[in-house]
Every structure is written in structure tokens, then in C-alpha cells.
Structure 1
Amino acid sequence: MTAPAKTARPRLLGDRRTRVLAYLVLAAAVLVGIVVAGTLAQDAARTPHLDAVNKGPTAGDWFGTDRLGRDMFARTLVGLRLSLLVGTTAALASTVIAIVLASLSVTIGGWAETAVNWLVDLFLALPHLVLLILLAFALGGGTRAVIIAVAVTHWPTLTRVLQAQARQVISSEYVATSRALGTSTFRLARRHLVPHLLPHFVVGTALMFPHAILHEAALSFLGLGIDPTQPAIGILLADSMKVLSAGMWWLAVLPGVCLLALVKLVDSIGENLRSILDPRSYHL
């Protein structure tokens, strides 16, 4: 590699890191704005206006109104806020399960590693959406059931990734020296393993988030998710199916597009976080 090329590569990586950080700040501001706007719009989302029933999108009502005259823009904001809160909780819980199982399997080894690998293989072999539906149904539906079902079913793939990273740490010389000096397994995991896995924990949570949002919407659409009285996106889409043939396209299209945009935004946050925390994942 020539000298100009050697100097150009760090400069390009530095410029890209700056752009990624700026994008992450902007994306985080958008997510915070959705949460704040969804909180403020809760009254408007529930207030009926019988003199403005089934109105299409206008300059005053961007997303139109539903069969009770409720503002669909306000209801979409509240639904996105619910999706963010449920998705965040479920993704964090699932990632915690993954990091705990990966740490236990690698530090203890033997029977623990065999048990974790068996659980991973079992969950990966089961049809994902079917397992989600069965768990949500068994738990009686509702927000709590959605969070538990999503958290319990989304950890296996990340566990495999974290196990691979954890094995690299455990096989290193400084960990072997620490073992020889009598360091306990718990102290070994706390001081050496968990700090190394934290960046992967952050990225894994961000990348798992879009799946949690989509599966929450799917369960709500099927009637096994959030309380039907709440304007969750899945519930809005399920209600719109009843009147879609009557030409009321805005009831399904606009909330659906907003959900897809939210999922894409969160997914891009995870990809950009990975490019910062793991520069080897990006190739010029």
C-alpha cells in the first residue's frame, strides 16, 4: 500500500465515524420525539369526533380519521410510542438472557455449555412465529404476555454470537493467568468477560429491537398482543382490515408505512453502532 493510501484510509474512517455519530444523534432525537409526541397525543387519540367520521387525509388531519372520528395521526403516534416501549423492554430482556447464558456456558463449560447449546438448537428449530403465538396465548395475551413471548424467543442467535466472542476471551493468556492465580469463575466473568461483551450487548439490543417491534405488531394484529382498547399499530391495522374494501386506505397504509419507517430507523441505528463498536465489520 502506498503512503497516500495509508494516510487516506484513517481519514476516510474518521470522516465516516463523524457522519455515523451525527446520524445516531439525529435518529435518537427522532425516537425521543416519537415518545414525547405519543405521550402528549394520548387524549387526542382517544377523543371521538362524530362530526368528522371516516375523513381522508387533509391539511388539517394528516392521517385522516377513523369510524369514530378519532385523529389517526395522534393514534399512530401513540401506537409507535407503545411499540418503542414494548420493543425496548423485550429486546433488553432477551439480550440479558443471551449474555447470561453465553457467559455461563463458556466460563463453567461442560454440562453448562451442553445445556445452553441444546436450548439454542431447540429454539432455533421451532417455527418462530408459531412459538410466539403459542406463548402469547398461553400467557393470556396483553402487554405483559407480548413482552415475555418476544423476550423468550429472540435470544438464541445472539447467544451463539456472544459465545463465540466469549471463547476468544476465555482462551486468552491473561485469563489463563488469572485462572492460575485462583480467580473465581464469577470474578472472572465480571472483570474480564462481561466488559468485553458489553459492546456486542449494545449492538445486539439495537439489532433485535426491529424484530421485537414487528412481532409485537403481529401479535396485536392477531388479537394476542396489547389491550385492544390501546391504539397500538397492530390493532390499528387489524381494525383497518374491516373497512379497507370500502376505500379507506389511509387507515392501513399510513400507520403501516410509519411502522416500517420506525423499524428501518432502528435497524440502521444498530448497523451504524456495529460499524463504530466493531470497525472490522466495515470494509472500504
Structure 2
Amino acid sequence: MNRRKSIIIILFLCISILILLATAGIYITEEHYAVNFANKNSPPSFDHIFGTDFMGRDMFYRTLEGISISMWIGILATAVSSIMALIIGFFAGMLGKKIDAFITWTIDLLMSIPHLLLLVLICIATGGGTKGITVAIMLTHWTILARIVRTEVMVIKTSEYIQTSKRMGKSSLFITIKHIMPHIIPQLIIGSILLFPHAIMHEASITFLGFGIPKEIPAIGAILSESMNYLTSGMWWLSVLPGLTLLFVVILFEVVGDNLQRLIDPTSVQE
């Protein structure tokens, strides 16, 4: 088995797990983690894999529900951020020095503000809650990806085959669709996948601080925030197991992004 086949198998396994985690919330109802004071504060066991919390709720199902919520917020926010990055980066690379200078200045300005502070401010300004944190992630996670798109466009548009296409009378729309976009889209896809872990980590962070998803919704950030009150009581499973699940999802996306980049990379195609 060569490296390419190994990468395809790894991608298939990781993507399958991520799809299962993302769709798990659809099939989980409140009955799965209903309040049951008879089983409160139970450590992990065969009946409750992740134990139960101070209200007897099953932490395994709450964690699955929270991961699913975080992933869907991350998917939506990352998709919008990627589209913004594509449009803004393309315009910066194609519309001349003044537009490029303004967009570059805007990106530098946004990146100079502490990221977590900017997320909190936007979240509060947009009303907080699920909508607020989603909008905040959308509006703050496009900058790095836009720089990548801008750089790719500026390199491609000076290529010899682009100049030849212009001399042959091809329109700007034709050149964009046939020559520029096929080079940008793979980089954009990989960048979006690698951007996703940042989105769900920031969603969990803002929710943990109390500015994101309401506490009545079992989001990972809310679960971790609640668990802080019980760590000194020895109830380690309330924070450790949900935290490890979130870390596992982040690592899976990193693996998918890295392996997809190797798969697309022409230098490794024959390995």
C-alpha cells in the first residue's frame, strides 16, 4: 500500500467519524440526558460512560449533543468566512493597488485586535446567544484565508499563460473561471478545513465565558463552565471527558486538512 492509498483510508475514517459526531445531535433528545437525582454525581461506568452530573444527567449524551451543536455552528461560520475570504482576497489581488492597500490595511487592523476580545465585542453587539457567537466567528475568521487567496491570485495573474490568454482576447471572466479559480479553490478548501478547529474552539471559549450559547443548551462551552464548580469535589469527569472529546474533534479536522493537502500536493502524487 502506497502513501496515497493510506491517506485516502485515513481521510475516509476521519470524515466518517466527524459525520457521525455532527449528526449525533439529530437523534439525541432531552430524554437521553433527563434529570435523575437518583444517579447524580456518578463516576464513569458501563451504564453512564461519561458519568453523570450534579442533576443526574448523562454526560455522554450531553457531550455528544454539545459537540454536534458546536460542529454545526463551526460549519456555518466557516462556510461564510471562506466565501468572504474568497471574495475579499480575489478583489485585493485583482482590482489594483489602492483596493489591495485598503483591504490589506483592514486585515492588519482586525488582526491587531486580540482575537478573543474582538469575538466578545461582536457577540455582545449582535445580541449574544447562538446567533451572536455565529456572527462573531463569521466576521473574524476570514482574514488569514483572505491573505492566502490574495497571494495566490497575485502570483497566478502574473503567470505567462494568463498573459497569453489575455493576448488571445479572452475576457476577464473567462480567465477568472478557467485559469484562476481552479488554482484557488483547492487551497480554499484546505484552508477552510484547517480553519474549522479554530471556529469550534473559539465558540467553546466564548460560551465558557458566558457570552455565547445559553447555559440551558448543552454546548461544550456551557458544560465545561458548569463543571468548574465541581472540580474541587473530585468530579473530574465533568470537565475532562467533554474536554477530551472537543480536543479529539479538533485533532480529527487537523488530520483531515493535513492529509488532504498531501493528497492534492502534486509533489506527493506518485508516492
Fold match by TM threshold 0.5: yes
Instruction: Please tell me whether the aligned partners of residues 106 and 113 of structure 1 are also in contact (alpha carbons under 8 angstroms).
Output: yes
Which residue does the alignment assign to 1:223? 210
Which residue does the alignment assign to 2:3? 16
Which of the residues 224, 227, 233 maps onto 1:237? Answer: 224
With over 3 angstroms needed to count, the CA separation of the structure-2 counterparts of 1:280 and 1:225, relative to structure 1, is farther
Aligned AA (1:201): L
Which of the residues 240, 243, 246 maps onto 1:256? Answer: 243
Instruction: Please tell me whether the aligned partners of residues 44 and 74 of structure 1 are also in contact (alpha carbons under 8 angstroms).
Output: no
**Stretch of structure 1 that moved more, 175-184 or 255-264:** 175-184
Report matched runs for 1:100-115 at 5 Å. Answer: 100-115=87-102
Which runs of no fewer than 5 residues in structure 2 stay unpaired?
none
TM-score (norm 2): 0.93
Deviations 1:8-37 (A, max 9, x none): xxxxxx811111110000011101111233
Measure the CA separation in 2 of the matches of 1:185 and 1:114: 22
Instruction: Please tell me whether the aligned partners of residues 42 and 53 of structure 2 are also in contact (alpha carbons under 8 angstroms).
Output: yes
With over 3 angstroms needed to count, the CA separation of the structure-2 counterparts of 1:236 and 1:45, relative to structure 1, is farther
Which residue does the alignment assign to 2:120? 133
**Stretch of structure 1 that moved more, 42-51 or 261-270:** 42-51
Identity %: 37
- Does the residue aligned with 1:169 lie in a helix, a strand or coil? helix
Instruction: Please tell me whether the aligned partners of residues 210 and 266 of structure 1 are also in contact (alpha carbons under 8 angstroms).
Output: yes
Instruction: Please tell me whether the aligned partners of residues 33 and 59 of structure 2 are also in contact (alpha carbons under 8 angstroms).
Output: no
Which residue does the alignment assign to 2:47? 60
Matched, 1:150 2:137: yes
- Does the residue aligned with 1:51 lie in a helix, a strand or coil? helix
Which runs of no fewer than 5 residues in structure 1 stay unpaired?
1-13
TM-score (norm 1): 0.89
Instruction: Please tell me whether the aligned partners of residues 132 and 212 of structure 2 are also in contact (alpha carbons under 8 angstroms).
Output: yes
Instruction: Please tell me whether the aligned partners of residues 45 and 78 of structure 1 are also in contact (alpha carbons under 8 angstroms).
Output: no
Measure the CA separation in 2 of the matches of 1:229 and 1:267: 30
Bigger RCO of structures 1 and 2 (CA < 8 A, at least 6 apart): 2
Report matched runs for 1:4-43 at 5 Å. Answer: 15-43=2-30
Which of the residues 59, 67, 85 maps onto 2:72? Answer: 85
Measure the CA separation in 1 of the matches of 2:246 and 2:31: 20
Matched, 1:268 2:265: no
Aligned AA (1:137): I
Instruction: Please tell me whether the aligned partners of residues 45 and 72 of structure 1 are also in contact (alpha carbons under 8 angstroms).
Output: no
